[in-house]
Structure 1
Amino acid sequence: MGKKQIAFFCSCFLVFAVFAEKNLIKRELINSENMQSINLMLSFETVEIQEYLSSDDVTIEIYGNNKEFIPAIKFADSVLAMKSVPINFWNLKIHISCKVIIYIPSGKKLDKVHVGLSSGSLKMSNINVNKIKLTSTSGSISTQNISAQDFVLIESTSGSIKCDELKAKNSVKAHSSSGSINIESVESDTIVCESTSGSIKIEELYCDYADLHSTSGSLKAHDIAANYFDFSTTSGSIFAEFEIAPSADSSINSTSGSVEIIVPESENYKFHFSSNSGTLRNKIENMRKSLRNGFTYTKTQSPKGGSPAQINVHTTSGNITLDD
């Protein structure tokens, strides 16, 4: 068989595999009153966990192109568990696709959701749960409208993390080694986001304490309402737009990246700026100043606000811009 014939055969096989993924291989129902937790330890599978409005049962559907490699379903002690079938070296030559969809009845509150993936991706939406732990090695993690009574922990090695409307009473923690972290609206007592080389972007951050850190990626946070915070990057830039002034001393640090800070006109702020070689551009007062000896600036808009907490802003070589 020639190279062109082999390429044609492989192309046809891949096309067949993609379309075959739509085939429903297994469907199983579980009484939702008996189920409290989900524990998935999967490899290459694509996973979706979402709200279901048309049934009172938890519904599991598995789609794929090879029934020999679908994950095993186990339900015991109120826990729905799934585990990937081991794949040997020879099976890697075959294109295997699998998609797992778990439908949770509307209004059902779960105790724990733990999903661990190797290369597969995860999507989760409209789920009410006590504790959430989501981990992935190279696949992406995406959530929408998630509410947790205790905590949310999301970890990814090289896959991206994207969340929309994420709430947890005690803490939200997201960590990525090389993937980006993008969160639209997050609310919790404590919020921690860490990335080694990926960027961090957060819209609408509401919390008591926020700790955002990126080593080489940029950090952007809009509509910040935090009582106190620590933002830092090593070589990435920092952009921070505040909705309210913090009530306790806070910090913003960047080694070689620039820092841009936006504050509302109606709030009182106190900043202490310092930099080894960077300069301050204060657009509020229309001034520019060297920061080698440090500089303290207080923005007093309302006498009723009292003495504001201090925000310490430091860069090694990056410039700092302040505006309202």
Structure 2
Amino acid sequence: MSAVVLAAGFVVPSYADEPKDKVKVGFIYVGPTGDHGWTYRHDIGRQQVEAEYGDRVETVYVESVPEGPDSERVMTQMALNGADIIFATSFGYMDAVLNVAKKFPNVKFEHATGYKQADNAANYGLKLYQARHVQGVIAGMMTKTNKICYVASFPIPEVMREINTYYLGAKKMNPDVELSITWVYTWYNPGLEGDAANVMIQQGCDVVAQHTDSPAPLTAAQEAGVVGFGQASDQMKFAPKAQLTATIDNWGPYYIDKVGQVLDGTWTTGDYFGHMNTGAVGMAPFANMPAEVEAEAQRVKDAISAGELFGFTGPINKQDGTAFLAEGEVATRMQLDTMDFYVEGITASPPT
């Protein structure tokens, strides 16, 4: 560690408030770029940065970096190798970002889905729970068994709030709906993801949702003759008979904007939360559903986009019956970013 600190001490300062002719941009990914989900979409954003700025940028990335000490090592090396801005694209990188940012005050850091900031470390995310609420509405109308299911990755606030809003959307349309949840404790492991989906399908689930990054749960749904949702990108080609829609994460505009700020010397820290109404949160075309389901899904999507509907509006109780939101109360950003419970009605045992 002392060698790293010593090396950091000899880095030539690059003042971010001065325009630059060229910027080196680093990306650190939690999964492989070919996961067809979360990391795949972040890498699409990286490619869009290259397309926008051409020879004015150089991008580098490291994929499949575990959350923890490895991420700190990778970001440190990127900074030592001259990166002007580093995008860390998973929640579990949060503390590592702050640690490395302290060592390299002239490098700009951007952390996806977190909530901690510094003078040279911003955070950014997308309101993906907006699309998930639409999926819940569809699931509640499509299930024939009244059993829907969810393949979950890690019990972090982002995943918990998407499970909750998915259930709330389904419950709104179908009071008898039940949600099963299996935690696989991985972002990307097609075998585990597919197995989790298959077990719940065998238990009667006929609509499969996921917060993991491979198409495996969706392809398991198709093989079993049920339906489901793509994750982070349009995965229709993997399950053309099963995909109802998919959340599409559109990171490119944000990456282009922030790299541009480093180029022109205007970068500042901040907290971005991309909305459906800007296209930052997208959805694949509705498919494999009756016309009345599609019409309701479109109505809900339009209302969310217009700011007329917010899935986390009270009255909402926690699973144990205690109040979370009073009648008409809307969840705050902090409540969303620290959500660590299931809402009332979900009977699955909370993860520990």
Normalised by the length of structure 1, the TM-score is 0.23
Q: Which has the higher strand share?
A: 1
Q: State which structure, 1 or 2, has the greater radius of gyration over its C-alpha atoms.
A: 1
Normalised by the length of structure 2, the TM-score is 0.22
Q: Which has the higher helix share?
A: 2
* Larger RCO: 1 or 2 (CA < 8 Å, sep 6+): 2
